[in-house]
Structure 1
Amino acid sequence: MKKLLMFLIVAVLLVSANPFNSNEASAATPNELTTYAKKFKGTPYKFGGTTPSGFDCSGYLRYVFNNFDISIPRTAAEQYKMGTGVSKGNLKEGDMVFFSGTYKAGISHAGIYVGSGNFISATSGGVTIANLNTNPYWAPKYTGARRLSEVKNVATPVAKPVAKPALSLGQYYDVPTGYWAANEIKTLTVQGILTGDGSGIFNPNDNVSRAEAATIIARALKLKPVSGTTFKDVPAKHWAAGNINAVMKAGIVKGRSPGYFAPSAKITRAEISKLLTTAYEFKNVSASSAVSFTDTKGHWAESSIKILAASKVTTGHKDGSFQPNANAKRSEFTAFVYRSIESN
C-alpha cells in the first residue's frame, strides 16, 4: 500500500512539473510581434485580403496577431473596441493604432506601432511603414491606439541607448558625409523634393517605386497635384494619386498598360531615362557625342538612355552595360534627378 501511494505521489509531481501540461497561454512580446509584422513589408494590397498573397488593413492585423494565438475581430472598427486605450505619448511596440476618414467616415484603417513614431500597415500601396507624426496623409487622420493584454512586456536587461547626434535638414543617419550621393540627397531634401522615413533614415539602397518616382518629379517641377482618378489602379485616395495625375496631365508619364499605372512596381533604369528626358526636355544628341552601351541597342528606351548619358546625367557600368531593365535605387534616382535639374 505504501509503495502504491508513493508511486501515485511521484506521478502527480512529474505531471505537474511537465511544461507541456501547463494551461498558461504563451504570450507574444512586443518585439516578437513587430518583428513578425515587418516580414510582410511589401506584400501587395488586396481588398478583403487576409493572407500573405494580399492584405487589407484589418486582415493584416488579424493575420499577425493570430500567429501568436491572439484572436481579434475582422474589421478595424471592431478592433478599435478591444484592449485598453493608450495615449499617443505612451505608445509602445505592438500597440494597435487607428485612423479615421481614409475612405469612409469613422474608424477606417488600422496598423501596428513599431516604435520611433512609426507604424506598419496594409495600405493601397502594399504593407508599408509610415510615421504617425510627420506623414502628411496619416498624421491628421490618427484617431487613437489600443493595447492588448496578451502582448506582454518581458523584463530583460536592456543596454542604455546611446543618444544619436542631432541632424540638420538634409542629413540622414544612413547617409554619411562621404557617401557618393550625399550632396545630391541633401540638396533635394532641403528643396523639399525628397524625404526620409521620418526617423532620420533615408534608405539609399532601397528600390524606387513608380509612385515615388512620379511624386519626386512632380515636386521637382513644382506641379500642382491633380485630384481624381486617372488610372484604374490608382484610386483618388492613393497617397500619390495627386502627383501621378499631375505628371500624367503634363505628358511626362504613361501607364505600364492601358489604364493601369502600376504604382507599387519598381521603376527601371530605362523608365527613369524616358521619364527624365521628357520631364526636362533634353534635346537629341549628335552621333559624335552619343554614348553606346552593350545592352541597349534596339531597346525601346535606347534614344533616351543615349541622351542622358551624353548629357552626363546617367552612367553605365564598368563592363560597358547600362542594365536598362534593372531597378533603380533611391540614391541613383536622386543623383539622376539632381543632375537633370543642374543641366537645365
Structure 2
Amino acid sequence: MKKRITQMIIAVLLISVAPFMTTQTSAATGNEIVNYAKTFQGVPYQYGGSTPSGFDCSGYTSYVYNNVAGVSLNRTAATQFTQGTSVSKANLQPGDLVFFDNLGYTSHVGIYIGNSQFISATTSKGIKIASINDPYYWGKYYMGAKRVASASVASATTKTVTDGKFTDVSSSHPAYVAIKELNIDGVINGFENQQFRPNAEVTRGQAAAMVNRVLKLTPKNQSRFSDVPTNHTFAKDIAAMNEAGILSGYTSGRFGLNDSLTKSQLAVILDRAFKISAATENQVRTASIYNDVPKTYWAHDPIVALKAIDQTTVFQTSYYQVNAEASRAEFSAAVYSAVESK
C-alpha cells in the first residue's frame, strides 16, 4: 500500500457495517449484540414482525441474535425464557435477555445493554431503551434473565482473522486485496467461523457513521429525522453528514437509518467526502463507461470517478447496477480505493 491506513481510517471501519466475533468471552459478544441492537432504535412495532420494517419483542431479539451471534432463538418471549442459563439481576451483562410478565405471563423480552437499561420492541414507541427498574412499569413486571450469547462462543470458531484470510473470501475475489489489507491493518474484522460475509449489505446509518469517523465533523444541531432518535448511536454522525451535505435524508423527514445503501449512493457519498470526481476530471468528461449509466444520470460523475480510482477491479464491469444494494466487499473496495488514490 502507498501508506498504511491512518488511525482515522482505522477508527472508521472498526465500527463495522456489521458486528464482529472476537476471541473474548461472552461479555464481548454481548457488547457486539448491544451495538447492533441499538442500530434499530425507532423501528416501529409490528405484531408478528421479525424484520427491520417492523418488529415485535421476540422477533426483534431473534433477528439481532441470529445476525450477530448466529444463535437461533425460539419465536416467542415465553419460549425464549426456556433457553440459555439463568442470570441474577446483580450479575447481568450486556447482551443478556431480560424478561417481563406485564400481561400476567412471560409476555415481553428485551436485550440488556448495561447500567440497568434494556432495549426492546414496544407497542407504543417501537424499538426503544428503558430501565429494568422503572418503578412505574418495567420494574414491577421484571421476571428474570437468560444468557445465551455464550452458546455461540462455545459452538463457533472463535479465532479472530488478522491475516486477511477469511474462509469465504478467496484470493481470486476482486476485493481480496482491499479486504486483506484493511484486515491486516486492524481496520476490519469478520464474523464467527472466520467469515467476512462480503455480500452482506451496508445501511445508510452505518455509512454515515463510518464516513464521519474519517471526517470527524461535529454537528451544530441534533438530528431532526423522524426515524433517528436523539440518543441513537449514529445520531450525531447522521446530523453531521446531513449538515455537511454528504448524506442527506428524504423529503418525508426520514433519514432511512436502516435502509440499504445503494451503489449510486455509495459513489456519491465517497465523492462528497473524498472529492474523487474532481481528482479524475478528465475521465469523468469522457463518455459513460458503464452501459447502464448514461451521462444524464444524476450520479454519473461520481460513479465514473469510482471506476477510475478503483484499485481492486471490483468496479471494472460493464454494468454498474445503480439501484443494487452496496455490499461489504464493495464498500471496502471503495474506501480502500479512495484512500489509496490520494
TM-score range, shorter chain: 0.5 to 0.7
Q: How does 1:148-187 map to 2 (within 5 A)?
A: 167-168=161-162, 172-187=166-181
Q: For residues 326 and 312 of structure 1, do their structure 2 counterparts lie closer, same or farther at Cα, with a shift above 3 Å needed? A: same
Counterpart amino acid of residue 270 in structure 2 = L
Q: Which amino acid aligns with 2:307?
A: A
- 3-state SS of paired residue (2:281): coil
Q: Compared with structure 1, are the counterparts of its residues 217 and 62 closer, same or farther at alpha carbon in structure 2 (3 Å cutoff)? A: closer
Residues 227, 241 of structure 1: 8 Å contact kept: no
Partner deviation per Cα, 1:214-246 (whole Å, 9 max, x = no partner): 222222334468883242211123232232223
Q: Secondary structure at the match of 1:259?
A: coil
Are residue 99 (structure 1) and residue 142 (structure 2) matched?
Answer: no
CA distance in 1, matches of 2:76, 2:224: 41
Percent same amino acid at aligned positions? 29
CA distance in 1, matches of 2:310, 2:248: 25
1:70 is the counterpart of 2:68:
no
Structure 1 Cα separation of the partners of residues 315 and 73 of structure 2: 46
Q: After TM superposition, give the deviation of residue 212 of structure 1 in Å.
A: 1.7
CA apart distance, 1:289 = 4.5
Structure exhibiting the larger radius of gyration computed from Cα positions: 1
Paired letter, 1:278: R
Question: Larger relative contact order (C-alpha < 8 A, sep ≥ 6)?
Answer: 2
Which whole-Å deviations, capped at 9, do the CAs of 1:72-106 have from their partners, x for residues lacking one?
8xxxxxx8xxx9426679x99999774256xxx84
Whether contact under 8 Å (2:174, 2:314) holds in the other structure is no
Report the counterpart of residue 109 of structure 1 in structure 2. 119
Name the counterpart of 1:231. 225
CA distance in 2, matches of 1:269, 1:146: 40
SS in 2 for 1:145: strand
Distance in 1 (CA, whole Å) between partners of 2:159 and 2:79 is 41
1:54 correspondence with 2:67: no
Q: Which amino acid aligns with 2:229?
A: P
Listed one character per residue, the Cα deviations across residues 99-157 of structure 1 (whole Å, up to 9, x for unaligned) are 256xxx8443259xxxxxxxxxx957xxxxxxxxxxxxxxxxxxx83279xxxx9xxxx
The verdict on how the C-alpha distance between 1:296 and 1:61 changes in structure 2, with shifts beyond 3 A counting, is closer
Q: 1:166 to 1:192 in 2, by over 3 A?
A: closer
Q: Describe the SS at the equivalent of 2:119.
A: strand
- How far apart, CA to CA, are the structure 2 residues paired with 1:169 and 1:230? 42
Aligned to 2:297, which of 296, 299, 320? 299
Q: Secondary structure at the match of 1:264?
A: coil
Aligned position for 1:251 = 245
Q: 1:298-317 residue pairs with structure 2 within 5 A?
A: 298-312=296-310
C-alpha RMSD of matched pairs (Å): 4.7
Letter of the structure 2 residue corresponding to residue 247 of structure 1 = M
Where does the alignment leave 5 or more consecutive residues of structure 1 unmatched?
1-40, 73-78, 112-121, 125-143, 154-159
Does the 8 Å contact 1:290/1:307 carry over to 2? no
- The corresponding residue for 1:218 is 212
Structure 1 stretch displaced more, 217-226 or 272-281: 217-226
CA contact (8 A) 2:160 2:194 kept: no
Instruction: Give the equivalent residue in structure 1 for 2:146.
Output: 146
Return the TM-score normalized by structure 1.
Answer: 0.56
Q: Secondary structure at the match of 2:238?
A: helix
CA separation of 1:226 and 1:341: change in aligned 2, threshold 3 A: farther
Report the Cα offset of residue 338 of structure 1: 0.7
Structure 2 unmatched runs, 5+: 1-36, 64-71, 100-108, 129-143
Equivalent residues in 2 for 1:186-197, closer than 5 Å: 186-189=180-183, 193-197=187-191
